[in-house]
Structure 1
Amino acid sequence: MKEPFEWDNYSDQPALLKDKVYKKKMRKKEFASLLKTILISLFILPLSILLTPFVKRKTIDSKLFFSLGVDYQREPQQTIELLNELDVDRVLLRLKLWEMDTIDELKEFILACGNKKIILKVLQDREHIEDNELLKKDFIEIFSKLDGIVDIYEIGSTINRAKWGFFSVDEYNKFYQSVYDLKNKEFQHIKLIGSGVIDFEYHFTAHTLFNLFKYHYDGISSLLYVDRRGAPENAQLGFALSDKIALLSTMVWASPKTKQSLHITEVNWPITGTAPYAPTSEYECIDEESYANFMLRYYMLSFASQQVDSVSWHQLIAPGYGLIDNRDNLIKRPAFTTYKFMLKNLKNAQFLRLDIKRCYYILQCLVDDNLLQIHWSLKDTTLKNEDFFTVYSRDGKVIEDEILNIGAKPIYIYITKAVGKKVQCVEMLHAN
């Protein structure tokens, strides 16, 4: 990245933009676009809220729903082995446009992944935003070299943060338009997703979905972090994670510019005591047990929405927020085992329903014709362990206790009792 932009190798993101004079100048230059963002959102957001109850769920392919972000330059051989150990079928990789000299290394890594589906997030810099010819030249190389081995290209990321290079939505729209025109001209078979707004800032998303640019998305990407609110069930402006997904899905459904496909291409929680690797301040950081609990519950709530096509955890190896800490050796955090057991049970699951009652959650699925329930509660309570239950902890250990403790740490319950050929759904029973 060129001045005044810098990359922070600790947290894998741009450093804060320190040149305030430059930042103010660029914001002023893009004032017309910023005004459009406000006006569009004032109409689209209330309308989308009204339409949300009418948007139907889809049937989500659970095999490709669970995706994992990976740095192809960080312990590449061990990374391939870990991906195979997890048995994950979809992987998200990031390519920096200012590091085009690594594209052959990226291609080699993708080929080593075998038949895994690849989402490639192409990260922008200011030079490529300003130089359209350079942008087209490098995307021709990307599409040509990676043709047939990348499933989806995500064009740009984190467009609503100035340190990532964009100072308005229209700057992003022009950026995406150039790539889309190139696709239509020479690479019509590839799939492009975009928008790339981070956090619950849907006024920016609205502008990417409702505008006069002549482009189209094959799906919408979102970096839907909720870490500043703590648990994924916690509300922001009255919207918990499930509500945020529903609203975003409604906007996708209502937009004429995109297919009805939604991908959460980055999410995590920062881990306490990992500065300077944590991407936020210590205030937002959580302990490793909460990290594993929140991650699993984020996936469960997203899967239960049946409106999100994939969620890519960011990421496999990272000291400040990954499933594995590599500051000394490769140390698997509890969340690694949590992710592995989640995949083992749910990558071939058929969603049935999500029941919520008095902060008690039960996700119900069919797995190989067996009923699986995943229980958790925001208020500690108990449940009788019936003789037709087979119970596992969050990380896959068998639980045989007569009374099950239900709290922030989800448990898996397979219901083995059947009547004829039909498996009975069991209502939750509390032992008081």
Structure 2
Amino acid sequence: MKKPFKWDDYSDQPALLQDKAYKKSMRKKERVSLLYTLFSSFILLPLGLLMMPFVKRKEISSTEFFSLGVDWQRETQTTQLLLEELEVQSILVRFKLWEMDRLDELKKFILQNSDKKIILKILQDREHVEDLQLLKNDLHVIFTTLGTSVTFYEIGSTINRAKWGFFSVREYLHFYQVAYDLKKNEFQNIQLLGSGVIDFEFYFTVHTLFNFCKCKYDGVAALLYVDRRGAPENMQLGFTLTDKIALLSTLVWLSPKTKQALHVTETNWPLSNTAPYAPTSEYECVSEKVYADYMLRYYLLAFASQQVDSVSWHQLIAAGYGLVDNREGIKKREAFFTYKFMFATLKNAQFLRMDIKRSYYIFQVLVDDRLLQIHWSFKETTLKNQDFFDVYSKSGKKIEDEILTIGSSPVYIFITKEVGQQVNASERI
């Protein structure tokens, strides 16, 4: 059976595998690898937790940090116009190995965006997982055609979900080894991202980073979704998004298999009332307003960690989870304008600190030598709008109210340069 999954064009992912007997037999076949995944995590996850306080933060380039996922096959002309409007300088595009006949179209799109840093996420199917010679042939064509016009090639995706074609980390490592051998022997100038684990299932990540495979990564890719927990600040097994990033960064730091680079190459929240386009059930879906709030807060928390090199939002145009809805023409959602203002404001920001007190968050950066604080709170509260404040909503609208309401939607507060060093805008009334 060469293709055990069927692609769902609505949600841009494989449909669930229906053949339970097939899944059971494949997992039984891979039981040694699955046992290694389990036992290695028993040792290395506790070690990672112990070492978390000792991992130093990096200086993250804000320009490259804010990346955006783009479907180059969807609304192509509109996509290009939207990218020009957003002025993003880093994008992620996906390429399906079962569509090699469309490689020239992809090349054209990449050359159109040659001024940007590009991550190319190469999506696998079961045929390429099973036939490594076919994989080698097709990767050779891709690397030859695109070369260093792509900044990073992400090899494989969502490796811990059977519907994506892998039944164990062993299978993934053999898959990745083909790409690494090509890089080592013929394409030394390209850069490869690996691992590709989705969600907070770091026991799979451990196996991809600590193993006997004779391969290395130029950076680690993670599909770090937190949508099933609601807000990005919410906990899962005692871990907030910030904690998950810290643990993942520590595992990358400890691993002998990779350079110290971590890229979140996929994350989002599904949108309410968009079935069948939403990639999850209605239970996990949120409103367009909440989606924009969560997106901005995710980016701020990840940037404040100073441990993530880039976050690629998934994605620009998608009816069920994108910044733009294309079901009836082109509709820019609230999140589009939130992303646009976020990038325009923070693309040259220098991070200073993040303060959190009683569920009140203050993200602080320098922007063109001006102090910028971004405030949000779980409990709605108020703040006096001082004469030396210059205040904007999350989408860039000027706020001149005498009393500011601070709640779940982050508020941008620029502070006059002369007093920026002396005042803390966190004093609430």
TM-score (norm 2): 0.99
Q: Which residue of 2 aligns with 1:48?
A: 48
| Structure 1 letter corresponding to 2:183 | K
Separation in 2 of the partners of 1:211 and 1:2? 28
| Structure 1 letter corresponding to 2:114 | G
Q: Deviations over 1:119-176 (max 9, x none)?
A: 0000001100111110000000000000121000000000000000000011001111
The answer (yes or no) to whether the contact 1:383–1:405 under 8 Å persists in 2 is yes
Q: Deviations over 1:66-88 (max 9, x none)?
A: 00000101011110110010010
Cα distance, 1:326 vs. partner? 0.3
Separation in 2 of the partners of 1:181 and 1:284? 40
Separation in 2 of the partners of 1:394 and 1:133? 50
Cα distance, 1:114 vs. partner? 3.4
Cα distance, 1:57 vs. partner? 0.3
Is residue 2:106 matched to residue 1:106?
yes
Q: Which residue of 2 aligns with 1:356?
A: 356
Q: Which residue of 1 aligns with 2:131?
A: 131
2:273 is paired with a residue whose SS is coil
Q: Which residue of 1 aligns with 2:201?
A: 201
Matches within 5 A, 1:72-111: 72-111=72-111
Q: Deviations over 1:81-109 (max 9, x none)?
A: 10010010000000000001111000001
1:375 is paired with a residue whose SS is strand
Cα distance, 1:424 vs. partner? 3.3
The answer (yes or no) to whether the contact 2:369–2:417 under 8 Å persists in 1 is no
The answer (yes or no) to whether the contact 1:371–1:425 under 8 Å persists in 2 is no
Q: Which residue of 2 aligns with 1:163?
A: 163
1:286 is paired with a residue whose SS is coil
Separation in 2 of the partners of 1:153 and 1:248? 20
The answer (yes or no) to whether the contact 1:120–1:153 under 8 Å persists in 2 is yes
2:213 is paired with a residue whose SS is coil
Q: Which residue of 2 aligns with 1:71?
A: 71
Separation in 1 of the partners of 2:204 and 2:86? 35
The answer (yes or no) to whether the contact 2:3–2:125 under 8 Å persists in 1 is no
| Structure 2 letter corresponding to 1:430 | R
Following TM superposition, the consecutive aligned residue runs of length 4 or more in structure 1 with deviations greater than 2 angstroms are 1-4, 422-425
Separation in 1 of the partners of 2:131 and 2:313? 32
Cα distance, 1:427 vs. partner? 4.1
| Structure 1 letter corresponding to 2:199 | D
Separation in 2 of the partners of 1:121 and 1:155? 6
1:26 is paired with a residue whose SS is helix
Is residue 2:381 matched to residue 1:378?
no
Q: Which residue of 1 aligns with 2:426?
A: 428
Q: Which residue of 2 aligns with 1:291?
A: 291
1:408 is paired with a residue whose SS is coil
The answer (yes or no) to whether the contact 2:210–2:257 under 8 Å persists in 1 is yes
Q: Which residue of 2 aligns with 1:255?
A: 255
Q: Deviations over 1:14-58 (max 9, x none)?
A: 000011111111000000000000000000000100100110100
Separation in 1 of the partners of 2:37 and 2:219? 20
Q: Which residue of 2 aligns with 1:245?
A: 245
The answer (yes or no) to whether the contact 1:372–1:412 under 8 Å persists in 2 is yes
The answer (yes or no) to whether the contact 2:370–2:417 under 8 Å persists in 1 is no
Q: Which residue of 1 aligns with 2:409?
A: 409
| Structure 2 letter corresponding to 1:135 | L
Matches within 5 A, 1:225-244: 225-244=225-244
Separation in 1 of the partners of 2:159 and 2:4? 17
Q: Deviations over 1:218-237 (max 9, x none)?
A: 00000000000000000000
| Structure 2 letter corresponding to 1:77 | Q
Separation in 2 of the partners of 1:369 and 1:424? 14
Q: Which residue of 1 aligns with 2:151?
A: 151
Cα distance, 1:425 vs. partner? 4.5
Cα distance, 1:112 vs. partner? 1.1
The answer (yes or no) to whether the contact 1:394–1:411 under 8 Å persists in 2 is yes
Separation in 2 of the partners of 1:145 and 1:366? 41
Separation in 2 of the partners of 1:142 and 1:199? 28
The answer (yes or no) to whether the contact 1:370–1:423 under 8 Å persists in 2 is no
Separation in 2 of the partners of 1:3 and 1:208? 24
| Structure 1 letter corresponding to 2:307 | Q
| Structure 1 letter corresponding to 2:98 | W
1:118 is paired with a residue whose SS is strand
Matches within 5 A, 1:291-310: 291-310=291-310
Cα distance, 1:3 vs. partner? 3.5
Unaligned runs of 5+ in 1: none
Aligned residues: 429
Cα distance, 1:355 vs. partner? 0.3
Separation in 2 of the partners of 1:284 and 1:205? 24
Cα distance, 1:376 vs. partner? 0.3
| Structure 2 letter corresponding to 1:288 | E
Unaligned runs of 5+ in 2: none
Separation in 1 of the partners of 2:138 and 2:181? 14
Is residue 2:339 matched to residue 1:339?
yes
Cα distance, 1:4 vs. partner? 2.5
Cα distance, 1:328 vs. partner? 1.1
